Amino acid sequence: MWFKNLVIYRFSEPFTLNAEALATQLQQQQFHACGSHDLFSFGWTSPLGAISEELVHASNGFLMVCAKRQEKVIPSSVINDLLQEKISDIEEQEARKLGGKERSRIKDELIFELLPRAFCFSRKTFAYIDVQGGWLVVDAASAKKAEDLLSLLRKSLGSLPVVPIGASSNPASIMTDWLLNQTQPADISIEDECELRSAEEEASIVRCKRHDLGLPEIKNHLDSGKQVIKLALSWSDRLSFMVDDQLLIKRLKFLDLIQEQRDNIETFDQADQFDADFSIMSSELSLFLPRLTELFNAEATPK
Q: Are residues 102 and 201 in the same domain?
A: no
- Is the CB of residue 36 less than 8 Å from the CB of residue 186? no
Q: Are residues 51 and 143 in the same domain?
A: yes
Is 279 inside a domain boundary?
A: no
Is 36 inside a domain boundary?
A: yes
DSSP per residue, 50-108: GG---S-EEETTEEEEEEEEEEEE--HHHHHHHHHHHHHHHHHHHTS---HHHHHHHHH
Does the pLDDT value for residue 300 go beyond 50?
Answer: no
Q: Are residues 127 and 210 in the same domain?
A: no
pLDDT value at position 36? 81
Q: What's the whole-number mean pLDDT along residues 268-281?
A: 94
Q: Are residues 136 and 236 in the same domain?
A: no
Task: Give the DSSP H/E element, type plus range, for residue 243.
Answer: strand 239-244
Smallest CA-to-CA distance from 188 within 127, 243, 146 is with 243
Is 226 inside a domain boundary?
A: yes
Q: Which of 57-61, 202-206, 262-266, 278-282 has the lowest mean pLDDT?
A: 202-206
Is 143 inside a domain boundary?
A: yes
Measured CA to CA, the distance from residue 281 to residue 290 in angstroms comes to 15
Q: Side by side, which strands form the sheet with 249-254? A: 205-209, 188-197, 227-235, 239-244, 249-254
pLDDT value at position 240? 98
Q: Are residues 158 and 23 in the same domain?
A: yes
Measured CA to CA, the distance from residue 245 to residue 173 in angstroms comes to 9
Q: Mapping DSSP to helix (H, G, I), strand (E, B) and coil, where does residue 208 land?
A: strand
Q: Are residues 52 and 147 in the same domain?
A: yes
Measured CA to CA, the distance from residue 262 to residue 253 in angstroms comes to 14
Q: What's the whole-number mean pLDDT along residues 16-32?
A: 97
Give the total number of structural domains in the chain: 3
pLDDT 10s digits, 119-176: 788 999 999 999 999 999 999 999 999 999 999 999 999 999 999 997 667 999 999 9
Is 111 inside a domain boundary?
A: yes
pTM for the predicted model, two decimal places: 0.85
Q: Are residues 134 and 176 in the same domain?
A: no
pLDDT 10s digits, 63-87: 999 999 999 887 788 788 888 888 8
Is 184 inside a domain boundary?
A: yes
Q: What's the whole-number mean pLDDT along residues 212-222?
A: 92
Measured CA to CA, the distance from residue 288 to residue 239 in angstroms comes to 9
Q: Are residues 63 and 211 in the same domain?
A: no
Q: Are residues 211 and 82 in the same domain?
A: no
Give how far Cα 204 sits from Cα of 172, 197, 248, Å: 15, 6, 21
Q: Are residues 46 and 151 in the same domain?
A: yes
Q: Exposed, middle or buried by CB within 10 Å (0-12, 13-18, 19+), for 263?
A: exposed
- Is the CB of residue 71 less than 8 Å from the CB of residue 88? no
pLDDT value at position 79? 80
pLDDT value at position 203? 75
- Is the CB of residue 225 less than 8 Å from the CB of residue 172? no
Is 191 inside a domain boundary?
A: yes
- The residue ranking higher by pLDDT, 106 or 194, is 194
Q: Are residues 21 and 93 in the same domain?
A: no
Q: Are residues 95 and 216 in the same domain?
A: no
DSSP-H helix ranges across 95-169:
100-114, 143-157
Is 101 inside a domain boundary?
A: yes
- Is the CB of residue 195 less than 8 Å from the CB of residue 206? yes
- Tell me which residue range forms the domain holding 237: 169-261
- Is the CB of residue 130 less than 8 Å from the CB of residue 282? yes
